[in-house]
């Protein structure tokens, strides 16, 4: 039995005094010895936390006891070791960076695509009038995606709005959106509806829930996750690997960051090339004097930066003036 759990969740629910909430919530998570990454915004929460089953249970009960987060759905993974090294809980303008911050224009609590449970998505995805749309970034869908999915050439989800014009050919069809855990689809599907797409759906709980409840059927490759694991298998029905090593072209699901911090490219690399290039994407990066030590994982802990109290104070002042 695994000694730890990793929880993936989000909740669109307005939070008053969200910056103070983030500070208090960080202290609470640390009191439970949890590690992870949580984003707090005025619009809600987006988090992945990891710890013992007891700590995770207490954390989930704590959130569900709060009226604002009663409907939060947790995706639970059993893991051999915590999926993070430290605990971060930060206030940001959005819980997923989209550039769509005005709730009068896009508000997942008012309008999104129709939610499909994993089994419903499985039964619907191969219909003739259906388009499966991956709303994630390149590095995510390169390591794994649904069979026959339409993917977008984007480096970050904030580029999604400008790519909608490339989807005009699919108007009139059923659009099934999906992402890792569902959070990006909330805004992506809402924006598609706003732009005139009439029949829009989203995979409830994302790829992770689909793997747990529908066996991950026809998801090719692995699912990128935002923690130490980097990617996880989800398909227990007809698994495959679709990503290839950047350096030699061999099939591999392993994704790393270049050991040269100046480059820091996120890419797939097989173990053989990893050791040969010492965790770098190229010979040039391998010779960089700032190159980090490669331990075979290609995962590097970010060095925490000092808190900019002046910046926080200015932001709080702007909010007070606005209100």
- Choose, from 11, 29, 179, 258, the residue flagged as catalytic: 179
The answer to whether residue 105 sits within a structural domain is no
Same domain, 81 and 130: no
Number of domains in the chain: 3
The answer to whether residue 10 sits within a structural domain is yes
124-182 residue pLDDT tens: 999 999 999 999 999 999 999 999 999 999 999 999 999 999 999 999 999 999 999 99
Same domain, 179 and 272: no
281 labelled catalytic: no
How does DSSP assign 152-170, residue by residue?
---SSGGGHHHHGGGGGGG
Same domain, 218 and 249: no
317 pLDDT more than 70: no
Same domain, 260 and 212: no
Same domain, 210 and 262: no
Same domain, 20 and 52: yes
208 pLDDT more than 90: yes
CA distances from 14 to 60, 94, 112, 183, 300 (A): 19, 11, 17, 15, 33
40-50 residue pLDDT tens: 999 999 999 99
- Global pTM? 0.87
Same domain, 202 and 121: yes
């Amino acid at each position: 039995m695994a000694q730890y759990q990793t929880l993936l969740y989000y909740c669109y629910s307005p939070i008053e005094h969200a910056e103070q909430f983030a500070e208090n919530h960080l202290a609470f998570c640390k009191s439970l010895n949890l590690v992870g990454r949580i984003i707090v915004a005025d619009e809600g929460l987006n988090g992945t936390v990891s710890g013992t089953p007891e700590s995770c249970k207490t954390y989930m009960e704590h959130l569900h006891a709060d009226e604002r987060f009663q409907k939060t759905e947790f995706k639970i993974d059993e893991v051999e070791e915590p999926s993070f090294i430290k605990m971060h809980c930060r206030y940001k303008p959005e819980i997923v960076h989209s550039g769509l911050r005005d709730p009068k224009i896009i508000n997942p609590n008012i309008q999104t695509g129709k939610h499909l449970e994993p089994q419903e998505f499985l039964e619907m995805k191969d219909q003739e009038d259906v388009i499966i749309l991956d709303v994630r970034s390149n590095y995510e869908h390169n390591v794994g995606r649904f069979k026959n999915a339409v993917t977008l050439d984007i480096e970050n989800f904030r580029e999604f709005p400008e790519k909608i014009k490339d989807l005009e050919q699919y108007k009139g069809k059923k659009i099934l959106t999906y992402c890792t855990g569902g959070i990006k689809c909330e805004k992506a599907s809402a924006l598609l509806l706003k732009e005139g797409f009439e029949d829009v759906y989203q995979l409830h709980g994302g790829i992770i829930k689909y793997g747990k409840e529908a066996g991950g059927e026809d998801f090719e490759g692995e699912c990128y996750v935002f923690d130490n694991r980097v990617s996880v298998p989800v398909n227990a029905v007809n698994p495959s690997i679709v990503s290839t090593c950047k350096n030699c072209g061999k099939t591999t699901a392993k994704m790393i960051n270049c050991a040269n911090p100046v480059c820091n490219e996120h890419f797939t690399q097989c173990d053989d090339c990893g050791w040969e290039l010492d965790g770098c994407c190229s010979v040039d990066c391998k010779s960089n004097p700032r190159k980090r030590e490669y331990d075979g994982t290609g995962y590097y802990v970010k060095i925490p930066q000092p808190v900019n109290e002046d910046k926080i104070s200015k932001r709080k002042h702007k909010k007070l003036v606005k209100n």
